[in-house]
A and B are shown apart, each in its own frame.
Chain A
Amino acid sequence: EAQVTQNPRYLITVTGKKLTVTCSQNMNHEYMSWYRQDPGLGLRQIYYSMNVEVTDKGDVPEGYKVSRKEKRNFPLILESPSPNQTSLYFCASSDSDSPLGEQYFGPGTRLTVT
Chain B
Amino acid sequence: GNSVTQMEGPVTLSEEAFLTINCTYTATGYPSLFWYVQYPGEGLQLLLKATKADDKGSNKGFEATYRKETTSFHLEKGSVQVSDSAVYFCALSGNYGQNFVFGPGTRLSVLP
A→B interface (CB under 8 Å): 33, 35, 41-43, 45, 48, 50, 56, 58, 90, 92, 94, 98-108
B73 within 8 A of A: no
B99 and A48 contact, CB distance less than 8 A: yes
Binds A, one of B16-24, B43-51, B60-68, B74-82: B43-51
Tell me the B residues contacting A by CB distance below 8 Å: 29-32, 34, 42-46, 49, 51, 89, 91-100, 102-105
Q: In the complex the two chains form, what is the Cα distance from A106 to B100 in whole Å? A: 16
CB distance from A90 to the nearest CB of B (A): 6
Chain A residues lying within 8 Å of B32, measured Cβ to Cβ, are 99-101
- Enumerate chain B residues within 8 angstroms of A105, measured Cβ to Cβ: 43-45
Known pairs A98-B95, A100-B93; A90 contacts B100 (CB<8 A): no
B83, chain A: closest CB distance, angstroms: 20
Main secondary structure of the interface of B (DSSP, over half): loop
In the complex, what distance in Å separates the CA atom of A99 from the CA atom of B46? 16
A96 and B22 alpha carbons, distance in the complex (Å): 28
On whether the beta carbons of B102 and A42 are closer than 8 Å, the reply is yes
Contact between chains at B46 and A102 (CB < 8 Å): yes
Asked if A94 and B100 make an inter-chain contact with CB atoms under 8 angstroms apart, the answer reads yes
Q: How far is the CA of A82 from the CA of B89 in the complex (A)?
A: 28
8 Å CB contact of B43 from A33, A42, A48, A106:
A106
Contacting residues, chain B, for A101 (C-beta < 8 A)? 32, 93
* Least Cβ–Cβ distance between B15 and chain A, in angstroms: 26
Nearest-neighbour CB distance to chain B for A34, whole angstroms, equals 12
Known interface pairs A90-B44, A99-B95; 14 further A-B residue pairs with C-beta atoms within 8 A, sorted by A's residue number: A41-B104, A42-B102, A43-B89, A43-B102, A43-B105, A58-B99, A98-B95, A99-B51, A99-B94, A99-B98, A101-B93, A104-B46, A106-B43, A108-B43
Is A107 in contact with B43, judged by CB distance below 8 angstroms?
Answer: yes
Q: B87 to nearest A CB, angstroms?
A: 9
